Amino acid sequence: MILDAKIPAGELAEKWNNYKKHAKLVNPANRKKFDIIVVGTGLAGASCAASLAEQGYNVKSFCFQDTARRAHSVAAQGGVNAAKNYKNDGDSVYRMFYDTIKGGDFRSREANVYRLAECSAELIDQAVAQGVPFAREYGGYLNNRSFGGVQVSRTFYARGQTGQQLLLGAYQALMRQVSLGKVKTFTRHEMLELVVIDGKAKGIIARDLLTGQIERHAANAVVLATGGYGKVYYLSTLAMGCNSSAIWRAHKKGAFMSGVSWIQFHPTSLPQSGEHQSKLTLMSESLRNDGRIWVPKKPGDDRVPKEIPEEERDYYLERRYPAFGNLSPRDIASRAAKERIDAGCGVGPMKNAVCLDFSKAIKEQGKEKIKEKYSNLFTMYEKINGINAYEQPMLISPAAHFTMGGLWVDYRLMTTIPGLFALGEANFSDHGANRLGANSLLQACVDGYFIAPYTIPDYLADEMKAEKITTDHPAFAAAENEVKVQLNQFLQMKGHLSADHYHKTLGKLLYDKCGLSRSKEGLEVAIAEIKQLRKSFYKDLKITGDDKVNSELEKAGRVADYLELGELMCYDALTREESCGAHFREEYQTADGEAVRNDQDFCFVSAWEWKDKDPGHELHKEPLVFENVALTVRSYK
Amino acid sequence: MKLSLKIWRQDSFDSEGSMISYQLDDVSVNMSFLEMLDLLNETLVQKGERVIEFDHDCREGICGQCGMMINGRAHGPLSNTTTCQLHMRSFKDGDTIYVEPFRATAFPIVRDLKVDRKGFDHIIQAGGFITASTGQPPEANSILISHQVTEAAFDAAACIGCGACVATCKNSSAALFTSAKITHLALLPQGKLEAAGRVISMVDQMDAEGFGHCSNTEACEVECPQEISVLHIARMNYEYNKALVFKT
């Protein structure tokens, strides 16, 4: 199968304009004849749903949380990038495009990345108009800070709550459309199946998590904005409910998955402290603006970090990457931390952490200034660990965080199933093999506010004459039946192991074998073990409770999908015989441990097709063509 | 450490609930409160019993989905902390801990510790937004806002919508939640144009949802994880009266 990304013609800087010039339109009077389903109410989902409703379409918005405002976009702390060049420090759309494509280790599409940078400035305008309280200077102008992997200050922020504030802007826009009757919200609903009719996405099957009712919903187009699947590792920075089920079930209905093994480990998370742990709390990357990262020079140093004298500390990021230092990109910083921890230099009770030290910044700028910038993060740190980070270094460690991979989409954000769109972290599109800090909020917003509102009408314009599908169609009955069969199967399982047990076991396996570093041998072991684990799951799983409110039943469905997705992650990592971005294959590295990319053989995006057999997946390739940038060795030295 | 737990169990809104006792050994001080409940639920699965249902998601204090009354206090013994950020080091070996849902007429119980907080969405739908459709906005720096006003608006905007203010209030008032949004938007120049209509509509909706009136006990501020100030309630009253006076 030839994957056509449908990149518009013309010069790089003209492509998006050219697309918009030729995109088909739907007459305002006809828009109310179209129903659109948007699954997910994070930044991508809420902004898309609100923007389409503003145009006049009927939108049904789904989320599993109790209200749309809780989607995991809220947790992004540090900021959102935009090429406004307010700091007059050399920024431009092209510079931002270049930083992003280089940050992604040249594994993303030029045209998509350029569009992301191009639309960034308008997002700041939109958010400010909605009342997002971005940080301001005393003269009243917007303020910026810098983030990892770039040498300009282009990050806009709202204390340590940028994601929360941006999401409230989108949520409030969504609530306005609810009040106007253009959006109907289905909270505490989980999408469990995609309905495909004559090759096109025509609806979903959802479960009402309060009543257990299985519902059919028909639409002219379906948008998945369901976020990332980093929770596959169990321990991650993600919310407990984040899951892959919507995209995975769409995948099994024909949507290809791309870059599945490209998963970012965030370098500044809190380390694991015990077996009971359910999540790894993130400390914003913005802390790296003022915090210095170090470990003791001597392996096995048991002293309390603040008692280790200056000359016995190894500021390994400053040492290895002097040009970017503590602001090196996430993949580099995480891998460097793992290297030191593996070398026995880790600190903390489990020797699994590194120090993030603010003593120099406090000395230079004063405690008050540091407090103003990061007080909520320092408070959070103290709540969790009982340690005052103004007085001693924070202990941090890399944790699974963001999935660059996701559903394959073309330039219009449409998957390989016509009428099915994927937005935000749920798609693979803009970040290549590694995402730069403060680009995820941006991508989610740009997809939802500015891209989908052009591309979805472009698709719908051709659907005007299509037959109106209702939920009586046999395809709905078949999809509903599949869902019910699976749920009944789970409810009847009286084994002896909980869904969490399988989730934790899978997560640990993936951390070890398909985490910060991977090898052929390890991945092959992991694939075999996951197959075993899946067999055991369908034999020994135990579910209690009824078919109404039942969090164990919800978890079982999600874990069942993870057990298939995890295997595909390993295949994706196994077949990519190079190191690029977050994907580090031990066989492909330089003598001093830097990644070795192979542009000759691997300058493509993987696109996996589900096959209902063993091994279950077929690899397609979308070649990446670079016409504007030279593929260089990505150096931050 | 060893704990005795007394937890509210209720099948559905229509059924009767009661406090059920559980014993839990091997609780570590490093566990979060919710991880302690995970542990308890794991033992319930092993025994073949239905697990305790409770709301939670981000587990880092920002999504606002978790919330329960712990020993009679919303989100537990610490001030300004969500349930998910409460750790077991706040308790002692041998403690008995009482866990109940957030109770309010406007927060009907769904099951066990889960409640329905849809009323908050309805209040926002009544006007908790700035009418600014996608595509309309002017250049961001054309709206100058002083550092102080931005910070004050942010203090109000920081509300996470958890409902602790309602649960702790003897009147089950949503005044703190509603006033935080009113203040956030009324302070900013972008939000001033709609301020009068917004405050009247949101306050009416708050009453229609069955939330009680504010009698200034200030209990809400104590439990609010984001330290939202009761002064916002004063501003809400000011904005409300101003809107009535200037109503034409």
Cα A59 to Cα A536: distance, rounded to the nearest angstrom: 41
- How does residue A274 score in pLDDT terms, banded at 50, 70 and 90? confident
pLDDT above 90 for A512:
yes
Q: List chain B pLDDT tens, one digit each, 248 residues.
A: 999 999 999 999 999 999 999 999 999 998 999 999 999 999 999 999 999 999 999 999 999 999 999 999 999 999 889 999 999 999 999 999 999 999 999 999 999 999 999 999 999 999 999 999 999 999 999 999 999 999 999 999 999 999 999 999 999 999 999 999 999 999 999 999 999 999 999 999 999 999 999 999 999 999 999 999 999 999 999 999 999 998 76
- pLDDT attached to residue A150: 85
One-letter amino acid identity for A540?
D
- pLDDT attached to residue B4: 98
Start-to-end C-alpha separation, chain A: 41
Q: Do B106 and B126 sit in the same domain of this protein?
A: no
Cα A123 to Cα A106: distance, rounded to the nearest angstrom: 25
Start-to-end C-alpha separation, chain B: 65
| pLDDT single digits (tens) A286-324 | 899 899 999 999 999 999 999 999 999 999 999 999 999
| Min Cα–Cα distance to chain A from B239, Å | 18
Cα A177 to Cα A592: distance, rounded to the nearest angstrom: 55
Cα A362 to Cα A430: distance, rounded to the nearest angstrom: 37
Domain of B195, CATH number, reads: 1.10.1060.10
- pLDDT attached to residue A614: 67
Q: Do B156 and B107 sit in the same domain of this protein?
A: no
- Which residue reads 């403060």 in tokens? A438
Structural domain of residue B216, as residue ranges?
Answer: 117-245
Q: Do B32 and B146 sit in the same domain of this protein?
A: no
According to DSSP H, which parts of A23-161 are helical?
28-31, 43-55, 93-103, 110-130
Task: Pick the last residue of a domain from B55, B79, B111.
Answer: B111
| Burial (Cβ within 10 Å: 0-12, 13-18, ≥19) of residue B26 | exposed
Q: Do B76 and B166 sit in the same domain of this protein?
A: no
Residues of A in contact with B146 (CB under 8 A): 136, 138, 140
Q: Do B133 and B168 sit in the same domain of this protein?
A: yes
Query: For every residue of A415-445, which 3-state class applies, written as one string?
Result: CCCCCEEECHHHECCCCCCCCCCCCHHHHHH
- How does residue A216 score in pLDDT terms, banded at 50, 70 and 90? very high
Q: Do B178 and B157 sit in the same domain of this protein?
A: yes
Prediction ipTM score = 0.98
The structure's pTM equals 0.97
Residues of A in contact with B140 (CB under 8 A): 84, 124-125, 127-128, 134, 142
Q: Do B66 and B97 sit in the same domain of this protein?
A: yes
Q: Do B97 and B122 sit in the same domain of this protein?
A: no
- Which residue reads 């994601």 in tokens? A163
One-letter amino acid identity for B35?
E
**A109: annotated active-site residue:** no
Question: DSSP string spanning A130-171?
Answer: HT----B-TTS-B--B--TT-SS--EE--TT-HHHHHHHHHH
The SS3 of residue A270 is coil
| pLDDT single digits (tens) A178-210 | 999 999 999 999 999 999 999 999 999 999 999
| Min Cα–Cα distance to chain A from B4, Å | 19
According to DSSP H, which parts of A425-550 are helical?
440-445, 452-460, 474-491, 499-513, 520-540
Q: Which of A14-23, A526-535, A586-595, B50-59 has the lowest mean pLDDT?
A: A586-595
Residues of A in contact with B129 (CB under 8 A): 130, 172-173, 175-176
pLDDT above 90 for A454:
yes
Task: Pick the last residue of a domain from B111, B144, B167.
Answer: B111
Q: Do B209 and B171 sit in the same domain of this protein?
A: yes
| pLDDT single digits (tens) A115-145 | 999 999 999 999 999 999 999 999 999 999 8
Q: Do B142 and B230 sit in the same domain of this protein?
A: yes
| Min Cα–Cα distance to chain B from A344, Å | 24
Residues 6+ apart with CB under 8 A from B19: B6, B7, B8, B9, B98, B100
Task: Pick the last residue of a domain from B111, B131, B148.
Answer: B111
Domains located in chain A, CATH noted: 267-400 (3.90.700.10), 474-603 (1.20.58.100)
| CA-closest candidate to residue B128, choices A130, A68, A162, A157 | A130
Interface probe with A: pick from B124, B182, B228, most Cβ of A within 10 Å: B124
| pLDDT single digits (tens) A368-394 | 999 988 888 898 898 888 889 999 999
Inter-chain CB proximity A129 and B48 less than 8 Å: no
- Which member of A109, A154, A159, A330 is catalytic? A330
Inter-chain CB proximity A128 and B143 less than 8 Å: yes
Q: What share of chain A is helix, strand, coil (3-state, %, to 5)?
A: 40, 20, 40
Domain of B106, CATH number, reads: 3.10.20.30
pLDDT above 70 for A344:
yes
Q: Do B167 and B78 sit in the same domain of this protein?
A: no
Residues A236/A401, Cβ–Cβ less than 8 Å: yes
- Number of folded domains that form chain B: 2
Q: Do B140 and B59 sit in the same domain of this protein?
A: no
| CA-closest candidate to residue B214, choices B182, B181, B180, B166 | B166
Residues of B in contact with A128 (CB under 8 A): 137, 140, 143, 190
Residues B134/A448, Cβ–Cβ less than 8 Å: no
Contacts by A243-246 with C-beta closer than 8 Å and gap 24+? Answer: A243/A558, A243/A561, A243/A562, A244/A558, A244/A561, A244/A562, A244/A565, A245/A190, A245/A191, A245/A192, A245/A557, A245/A558, A245/A561, A246/A39, A246/A40, A246/A191, A246/A194, A246/A426
Inter-chain CB proximity A50 and B129 less than 8 Å: no
